Amino acid sequence: MPKGYWVSVYRTISDPEKLAAYDKLAGPAVKAGGGRTLVVGGRVVAHDAGIAEPERTVLVEFDSFEQAVAARESAAYQEALVALSDGVERDFRIVEGID
């Protein structure tokens, strides 16, 4: 069964306090949903139409695509999104891996 991934690229962080509140809630929500955070920040080289210098990049791995979707829809993660509100501009995607 292919794994599922959350891929988030933060274009801007306009409210670091909202991001910190989100992080406090999102970390436990991801773990409860079976996710494993593989990347937070780190060095980035953008190509093609990518953001030249994103503020932050996050990669989370789940055992399946369905698990990744369910974790995003969970009440705990929805609470984290409320805390984040308009504190960032990001591109968030759930993608299915390959076997």
CB-CB contact of 6 with 92 (8 Å):
yes
Give the range of the structural domain holding residue 15, as residue numbers without chain letter: 4-96
CATH code at 52?
3.30.70.100
CA distance 50 to 63: 27
Q: According to the model, what pLDDT value does residue 52 have? A: 64
Count of structural domains within the chain: 1
Q: What is the DSSP string of 33-89?
A: TT-EEEEES------TTS-SS-SEEEEEEESSHHHHHHHHHSHHHHHHHHHHTTSEE
Global confidence as pTM: 0.91
Q: Could you read off the pLDDT of 39-90 as tens digits, one per residue?
A: 998 787 777 766 667 789 999 999 999 999 999 999 999 999 999 999 999 9
